[in-house]
Structure 1
Amino acid sequence: MATASGSADGTWDDLLQQGTGPVQESFLDLVRTTRHYLGYSPNVVWGNLQTPQYAEAMLHLVVDFHGIPDDIEAGVAARTARAQFIGQEGRTYHVLLGEQALLTNIGGPEVMHGQLRRLTDALSLPGLTLGIVPARARLLVYPGDGFSIFDDRRVEVEGFRGGETITAPERLAVFRKAFDRLQPSAVYGAAARDLIETALGGT
């Protein structure tokens, strides 16, 4: 979703009430210190690959929904800064997007067109493995929320209810198991590009 949860400076809810900037800065700090990342985003584009226009549209929705201070410019700057770490210093990212993430209309046709073009470019980024789970793919696990796994030590789960930070090993294992069961349903490379290009044709 649109926010990150938890930081040394306060809870997810505390940070969110200050605006999008503090939340996104907290998430940027987490990304900066992470070496190996696994993530699943079923219905929106993964934050590290969002264009400024897409991120701005997303954060407008967050500000409107939660009634928080409108500091969207700061939030967009911190969110889009995450991309600089892809391929740097041996970091690895394995990300699964649901096909719905290519279709969910965030910001209108022009924003979506630019975002989908960004995804086609991202397929060749070093250190990034980007898979897409087709809408008609057979799943080996029941559908659930999107989640992010940082260095197998921390999971972030986000939704309307807010964000949850999980560090207990037994609960971490549940999300790693979910990722391992989602991954065989994903397509990569040329097949992933075809899905993105098909979505582009509809923008």
Structure 2
Amino acid sequence: MPPFPTSSLQQARTALAARLREIRLDAGITSKELAQRCHWSVAKSSRIENARTAPSDADIRAWCTACDADTQAADLIAANRQADSLYVHWRRLQRTGLKQLQESSTPLYERTRHFRVYASHVIPGYLQTPGYATALMGTIATFRTTPDDVNQAVQARMQRSRVIHEGDHRFATLIEENVLRHRIGDTEVMAGQLGHLLSSMALPSMSLGIIPAQAPREQIMWPLEQFTVFDDARVNVELLAAKVTVTAPGELDIYLRAFTRLTELAVHGADARALIVKAIDALH
């Protein structure tokens, strides 16, 4: 993994490093003296101060103690943990199972008014049927060796998905046609899922577009990683190993522009329904 997977994380790390440097300078000590007081190498001090290495909670406490700035440690640790939340490995998020992750994201879904979702691998969670979600989460739990709470996690996901029926939420959803043919579960599960997509298109809150597999891309946008935009203020990107949270304005703009271009590739209405029906027919 590169030092900073996103510019949001880079900015957070750089700001923390700058604050630690200011604390050292205010204390009137050199990097060498700081290293001696903290009982670590000068190279480590340099890496932390230049944002090349993320400090641990213990590192921050030691730094503040060495600079007679213990009262600032708590705030700096909080900032450090917030930076950590911008790139989080799934094994950390799912170490106690899958249910807690579903429940922890519910407040974000409830307060978001405008969702923009691009699905390149699987059907978005809020459009999944219980059967599809069970098959998918079962695969995830096995692959990532998480505690087996799939049934409870599916219930939590279905509960979270109520947002498509309640309140004034709006969902602009783009799904790659290939996702319709990725076999998650058996034929019955996939038929039910694709049928649910068809019925969901009638929801007042839902705009559902399908990007045809044969759509020409060279002038517009290549297939990307799956991502969700929450109210133009935050993007969650799903990688194989981790979830990346994007909040930096410049980086947000990149995802918004990509979504706009992907929308140009998608078909809606009757044409989208035809592609879903075609995928259903292919199951038999």
Same fold (TM over 0.5): yes
Separation of aligned partners in 2, 1:67 and 1:27: 21
Q: 1:77 to 1:12 in 2, by over 3 A?
A: farther
Contiguous gaps of at least 5 residues in structure 2: 1-81
Give the residue type in structure 1 aligned to 2:187. P
Where does 1:93-112 land on structure 2 (aligned, <5 Å)? 93-112=171-190
Answer yes or no: is 1:118 the counterpart of 2:196: yes
1:37 is aligned to 2:37: no
Q: How does 1:33-182 map to 2 (within 5 A)?
A: 33-139=111-217, 140-182=220-262
Match in the other structure for 2:94? 16
Q: Which has the higher contact order (CA 8 A, sep 6+)?
A: 1
In the TM superposition, what is the alpha-carbon distance from 1:80 to its structure 2 partner? 1.6
* CA apart distance, 1:42: 1.4
Q: Deviations over 1:107-160 (max 9, x none)?
A: 011110000010010110111100000000122112210100001111001121
CA distance, structure 2, for counterparts of residue 127 and residue 87 of structure 1: 7
Tell me the SS of whatever aligns to 2:94. Answer: helix
TM-score (norm 1): 0.92
* Separation (CA, whole Å) in 1 of partners of 2:279 and 2:106: 29
Structure-2-length-normalised TM-score: 0.66
How many angstroms apart in 2 are the aligned matches of 1:142 and 1:55?
27
Larger Rg: 2
Distance 1:112 1:29 in 2: 29
Higher relative helix content:
2
Unaligned runs of 5+ in 1: 1-7
- Over the aligned positions, Cα root-mean-square deviation in angstroms equals 1.6
Among 258, 263, 268, which residue is 1:183 paired with? 263
Quote the Cα distance in structure 1 between the aligned partners of 2:246 and 2:89: 13
